[in-house]
Structure 1
Amino acid sequence: MNPERAETIAIQALGWLAANDDLFPVFLGSTGASADDLRAQAADPAFLGSVLDFLTMDDAWVVAFCDAAGLPYDTPLRARHVIAGEAGMHWT
């Protein structure tokens, strides 16, 4: 997966979260961001990584997103690793 594809998946995840009436407020609360902040940061790879971090906290969210997007279930985590690059790798 290349970085552009990973960012596209993260943007899809952000759109899916924004359309989810139950989960979107949880996401906003956990990030401390407003809807305006999301629009301003939607192109920032660090922010997109945080979207994928949030999504991958719960297997049910991953399954629901991937089912809606027609993606394999490992895609969000693979995209997160690509966005993070080597700086995001933790071996401990």
Structure 2
Amino acid sequence: MMPDYPIPQDDETIALRLVGWIVADSVRAERMLSLTGLEPGALRTGLSDPATLGALMDFVINHEPDLLACAEALDVKPASLVAARERLGQ
């Protein structure tokens, strides 16, 4: 359920919302940890690091079913996630 107030759509906020979507599902979170090699502690401390956020965005973007499901859950277009990832990498 979306809140009744507008959610900021800056790139970092989109990335953090994407991380929330990843970890909301334990199977998906375990798959992310396994594929990225991140440890839970490194994930927590890396949330302010654009490189870590970019890697987590890549995890979603590179698996089309996740990209589509995440975009729907966050109420954004898949292309918006891809564009935010590209800008974070600059």
Letter in 2 for 1:44: D
Kindly state the Cα deviation for residue 38 of structure 1 after the two structures are TM-superposed.
0.9
**1:11-90 maps to which residues of 2 (within 5 A)?**
11-85=16-90
Aligned length: 82
Structure 2 CA distance for aligned equivalents of residues 67 and 27 of structure 1: 19
Structure 2 equivalent of residue 89 of structure 1: none
Kindly state the Cα deviation for residue 43 of structure 1 after the two structures are TM-superposed.
0.5
Structure 2 CA distance for aligned equivalents of residues 50 and 73 of structure 1: 16
SS of equivalent residue, structure 2 residue 78: coil
* Structure 1 segments of 4+ aligned residues over 2 angstroms from their partners: none
TM normalised by structure 2 equals 0.84
Letter in 2 for 1:23: R
Kindly state the Cα deviation for residue 76 of structure 1 after the two structures are TM-superposed.
1.2
TM normalised by structure 1 equals 0.83
Letter in 2 for 1:6: D
Q: Which runs of 5+ in 1 are unaligned?
A: 86-92
Structure 2 CA distance for aligned equivalents of residues 64 and 10 of structure 1: 15
- Higher RCO (Cα < 8 Å, 6 or more apart): 1
Kindly state the Cα deviation for residue 33 of structure 1 after the two structures are TM-superposed.
1.4
